């Protein structure tokens, strides 16, 4: 951290903070990104986001687990209660190739961890071995959850750590029961 604290001093001397949103749950790009903790998939770099552009949630695999849904529900609640007329955000789920969470599918590795008191089924369900499949499943989970009863959208992408490219796996869709104004198809 010693060197990075120097970076922080430099940062504090810039005007980056003047471009951050007045309301923290309405980021500049109206994005809520969910992705993996893997340092190779930092959304600031792969999406070119800067300070204040997006809400970012990261966990192992970038999974729409209970903890993520609870956070999303809280932010949705704030938005609905305090700023109901503001534009709504799009939740973007990104799963990636060569994800370390895939090792949770390895019986021996997982077994030794389960012996330490962790839940076998939860670990198995967290593994991302086919990012396109899991990203589709997680976008579906988000869309059907109570966390997103609003005009918010959700979409899904896979990220290839070898090429640096994102590929859309799920086009933006509205939460269940909500129709995007002007859209021709009834989504979901
Ligand atoms: Zn990962």
Centre of ligand 1 to C-alpha 105, Å, is 13
Centre of ligand 1 to C-alpha 83, Å, is 34
| Helices (H), ranges, the chain | 2-12, 43-46, 66-82, 107-114, 120-126, 131-144
Q: What are 56's strand-pairing partners?
A: 33
pLDDT tens sequence across 111-127: 999 999 999 999 999 99
For residues 19 and 17, give the distance between their C-alpha atoms in angstroms, rounded to a whole number.
5
* For ion ligand 1, residues whose CB falls within 5 Å: 36, 38, 99
Centre of ligand 1 to C-alpha 132, Å, is 13
pLDDT tens sequence across 60-87: 999 999 999 999 999 999 988 998 888 8
Buried b (16+ CB within 10 A) or exposed e, 28-41: ebbbbbbbbebeeb
pLDDT tens sequence across 159-186: 999 999 999 999 999 876 555 555 444 3
Centre of ligand 1 to C-alpha 136, Å, is 16
For residues 108 and 118, give the distance between their C-alpha atoms in angstroms, rounded to a whole number.
14
Centre of ligand 1 to C-alpha 164, Å, is 14
For residues 153 and 31, give the distance between their C-alpha atoms in angstroms, rounded to a whole number.
10
28: three-class secondary structure by DSSP: coil
Centre of ligand 1 to C-alpha 33, Å, is 14
């Amino acid at each position: 951290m010693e060197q990075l604290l120097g970076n922080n001093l430099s940062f504090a001397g810039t005007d980056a903070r003047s471009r951050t949103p007045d309301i923290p749950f309405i980021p500049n790009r109206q994005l809520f990104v969910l992705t993996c903790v893997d340092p190779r998939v930092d959304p600031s770099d792969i999406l070119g986001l800067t300070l204040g552009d997006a809400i970012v949630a990261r966990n192992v695999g970038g999974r729409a687990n209970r903890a993520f849904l609870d956070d999303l529900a809280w932010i949705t609640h704030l938005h609905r209660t305090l700023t109901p007329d503001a534009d709504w955000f799009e939740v973007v789920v990104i799963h990636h190739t060569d994800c370390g969470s895939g090792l949770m599918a390895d019986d021996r590795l997982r077994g030794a961890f389960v012996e330490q008191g962790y839940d076998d089924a939860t670990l198995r369900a967290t593994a991302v071995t086919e990012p396109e499949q899991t990203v589709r499943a997680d976008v579906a989970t988000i869309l059907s959850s109570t966390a997103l009863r609003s005009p918010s959208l959700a979409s899904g992408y896979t990220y290839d750590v070898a090429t640096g490219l994102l590929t859309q796996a799920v086009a933006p869709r509205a939460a269940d029961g909500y129709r995007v104004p002007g859209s021709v198809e009834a989504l979901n």
